[in-house]
Structure 1
Amino acid sequence: MTIAIEAEGLTKHFSLKQGKGSGPWFRARGMRTVHAVDDVGFKVASGETLAIIGESGCGKSTVARLLLGLTEPTAGSITISGERRVQLVAQNPWSALNRRKTIGHALNQPLLIHRPDLDKDGREARVQELLDLTGLPSDFLLRYPADVSGGELQRVTIARALAAQPRVLVLDEPTASLDVSVKASLVNLLCDLRDDLGLTYLLITHEIDVARLLADQVLVMYLGHVVESGDADQVFDNPVHPYTRSLLDSVPVPDPRRRKELLPLAGEVPSAVDPPSGCRFRTRCPHVLPKCAETRPTARESGEGHLTACHLTAWSPS
């Protein structure tokens, strides 16, 4: 098994400058620290998908930015096998493209930068190949972003990302702005591209249904920490950490009888500027123990390759 991405002790803190005033954000002039990501580690095999899931503010998008090199880690490292060929597929395709330029222009620009070996004919052939890969007709080259649907435009952003022949794609909420039917076709496209091109995906999402379809491995994050990780089927079908269980139970279900059995999340996510001591989930956990406030739990095996960071050695809902 070839490892495509490996992160060790990945940490990112941001300094927050305060001003004068009253209230918790304005206690005094000075600097405070946002604990965006703390001691995150993972490995992704070539051709597989790692999904990072969690609520807004859990740190998953910061991990994506670190992988893309858009920000430098405070500590730790990310290693990508071979050349650092990583591209991004963003959540909002309308903001990812220049609305004043044609789709043909958007697909040509990466080739001018990353493929200087291609002449005009070579670039035209490569652009047509990208359209074929993403199921788009040739007449799209003369269209503008405003002339196509959201699902079609997201296919354009995928085609543009593939222009540089990446080995790794970072998918940042790639289906969040799409309706259900379009979402399904895009997920199928991503699965086909991964299999046909041997791509490795890092999927950032809050959509559990999309993660179930695409992910081989899952990383569950809460307030900068990894609370559970492992094989996707194990994590989704047999969640061990109380946060993972509550997160999955927060997904709407149509059966009213099933809704009575669920344990959805309650309360608000604490501030990353002043995170709770010990286990960061303890302020919302229905099974909190006194030691949860004292020490951060270390990850332990809940099954083969299934890790959980929780002081409860054999947690089960009650």
Structure 2
Amino acid sequence: MKRLILSLALASMLTACQQVNTTQAGAIGATRKQSMLLSSQQVDQMSAASYAETIKKSASQGKLLASNDPTVRRVRDIAQRLIPQTAVFRPDALQWQWEVNVEKSPELNAYCMSGGKIMFYTGIIERLKLTDDEIAQIMGHEIAHALREHGREKMSEEYGKSIALQGGMQLFSIVTGGKYDAYQDLAGSGLNTLVDVSYSLPNSRTNESEADAMGLELAARAGYNPNAAVSLWQKMAAQGAGKGLEFMSTHPSSNTRIAELQAKIPVVMPLYETAKNKPKPKPKKNAS
């Protein structure tokens, strides 16, 4: 058993990689160091290609809403107010090739891929009867994922985990006297469980909480009421999102999420009070 523990510890060392901070702190203090094995350019290229394929497929299936659709105009108007605020965390984000689209789907979902590729599903807007303030909270959260490059972080994590698994299997073969085949399933299962429980899943919950806080600030700076974050997650909780055993979940529970957001609202409320009195940008026609 000691040999096995030693082999697992040595395997985990193989995941060591560059520690970076992808954003400035902002008012909420986004200062966590992140482990990255892949470059931003690699991930941005993959995201752009994936998003383009998604748009093509959605359009071919008749699910992609047209630019003049009221829901598309509504979502893009909100994005137009949020995107300029990204400079607080990442000045370079203003040069991203932002795209904002809406797909006809019952799913309670939305996302922003690396490089500013946003997609909303009509289901989350219609089923939750979202206000503009609540849409801004979701969009701010998803944009925060892109700003912090959580996708790149996750991909780096998975890449590092694969290296650790390969190294761990080799070490396991050595300490068991070459009986690799007999113990492959056991060792592989043990390594996967160790990595997931001790690193992968908690890290995902960290990313979600981080995106909540940054999204709250982005929306406040754009003039959207921070209290909408609470009403949003109350609606999500009513739909069943966030339920279950939190320790084995990649997302915080709804109650945890709401409590964390309520604690941060006083930090961003002055930003909202200042922003709501500023002139709002005029909506762009047929912007993507």
Q: TM-score, normalised by structure 2?
A: 0.27
Q: TM-score, normalised by structure 1?
A: 0.25
Q: Which has the higher helix share?
A: 2
Relative CO higher for 1 or 2, CA cutoff 8 Å, sep ≥ 6? 2
